[in-house]
Amino acid sequence: LPGRRVWVEDRVDSTNALALRYLTCHEPPFVVLAEAQTAGRGRRGRHWVSPYGENLYFSQVIRIERSATQLQALSLVVGVAVLRTLRQLGVAGVGLKWPNDLLVEGKKIAGILLELSGDPADVCQVVIGVGINANMRAGSGIDQDWTSVCLETGRQVERSELAAALAVELEQVLRVHCEQGFAAFHGEWEASHAWQGREVRLISGVHEIGGTVLGVTIDGGLRLAGEGGEQVYSGGELSLRLQ
Ligand code: BTN
């Protein structure tokens, strides 16, 4: 991968967790890849099923400033990089689900988990964790509809090529995001938004809000038209379902 230090591990607990541990002795940027994860982490404390040798388990660590204001948009921007990577591999019909799930016809093909180390008000390190279902054909213990690159394209993918393609796309979007902010991606994001205009329920813990998805703001917040008019929602702990 261009200009990156890369660790390719065998079985790890989680590439995100390992990347956070490596931060104590290595300078970012760097990438950690693994063949399998025994404790793969998903959003909202969920488990990410990570069978040996089948999928991509990728964590890239970068340093950013003023992360508190950038983090939400960053997570959407990473979604754009994964979207472009999947399209490049010939996966048709990929869409984004706010904040950063990648779906094909409602089935999850990839997920993103950002984790922070350092001071969010100052300079800090972000672990960009990306899991892409690459060659998985049968999944056990996955509690949602899913698909994989192989199932969608009918071809096995070379995971090293997938990792390299993702690293190149990530580098490009991170640079543009740094220079121009999320505004540069807003149009592309909404054009690929799987649930644009759909009736949804937004779930936060025990609370639920119903509404119509209007799109995303320039900060990466979700615009929802509900009973009380338009509201903007943000935050990593929220989850969206179709009505
Ligand atoms: C989600 O959609 O819930 C996010 C899933 C993120 C999974 C990836 S796999 C590589 C990296 N290491 C982890 O433990 N999680 C992320």
Mean pLDDT (whole number) for 134-153: 90
Best residue among 9, 35, 43, 57 to mutate for probing ligand 1, ranked by most atoms within 8 Å of CB: 57
| pLDDT top residue among 39 and 236 | 39
* pLDDT tens by residue, 61-115: 998 876 666 788 999 999 999 999 999 999 999 999 999 899 999 999 999 999 9
C-alpha 226 to ligand 1 mean position (Å)? 31
Residue range(s) in the chain whose domain bears CATH number 2.30.30.100: 199-242
Looking at this protein, which amino acid is placed at residue 102? L
Structure confidence at residue 3 (pLDDT): 60
How far apart CA 189 and CA 72 sit, in angstroms, is: 14
How far apart CA 109 and CA 122 sit, in angstroms, is: 34
How far apart CA 228 and CA 212 sit, in angstroms, is: 12
Which residue's CA is the closest to the ligand 1 atom numbered 11? Answer: 129
C-alpha 176 to ligand 1 mean position (Å)? 24
Residue pointed to by tokens 């995100």: 16
User: Ligand 1: which atom is nearest the Cα of residue 34?
Assistant: 10
Structure confidence at residue 61 (pLDDT): 95
Is residue 173 packed enough to be buried (19+ CB in 10 Å), middle (13-18) or exposed (0-12)? buried
Structure tokens at 99: 């904040």
Of residues 141, 153, 169, 168, the one with CA closest to residue 49: 141
Best residue among 46, 130, 239 to mutate for probing ligand 1, ranked by most atoms within 8 Å of CB: 130
Q: Which CATH architecture has domain 5-191?
A: 2-Layer Sandwich (3.30)
Q: Which pLDDT band, with edges at 50, 70 and 90, does 206 fall under?
A: confident
User: In this model, does residue 4 exceed pLDDT 90?
Assistant: no
Q: What is the dihedral of CA 97, 157, 172, 32, to 10 degrees?
A: 90
Structure confidence at residue 165 (pLDDT): 96
Looking at this protein, which amino acid is placed at residue 20? L
Q: Domain 199-242, what fold? A: SH3 type barrels. (2.30.30)
User: In this model, does residue 121 exceed pLDDT 80?
Assistant: no
**Residue-wise DSSP of the chain:** -TT-EEEEEEEES-HHHHHHHHTTTSPSSEEEEEEEESS-B-GGG-B----TTTSEEEEEEEEESSHHHHHHHHHHHHHHHHHHHHHHTT--SEEEETTTEEEETTEEEEEEEEEEEE-TTSSEEEEEEEEE--S--S-SS--S-B--HHHHHSS---HHHHHHHHHHHHHHHHHHHHHH-THHHHHHHHHTBTTTT-EEEEEETTEEEEEEEEEE-TTSPEEEEETTEEEEE--TT-EEEE-
Catalytic site positions: 43, 108, 241
C-alpha 131 to ligand 1 mean position (Å)? 5
Residue range(s) in the chain whose domain bears CATH number 3.30.930.10: 5-191
pTM: 0.94
Is the ipTM of this structure higher than 0.85?
yes
Structure tokens at 60: 């890239």
Structure confidence at residue 124 (pLDDT): 87
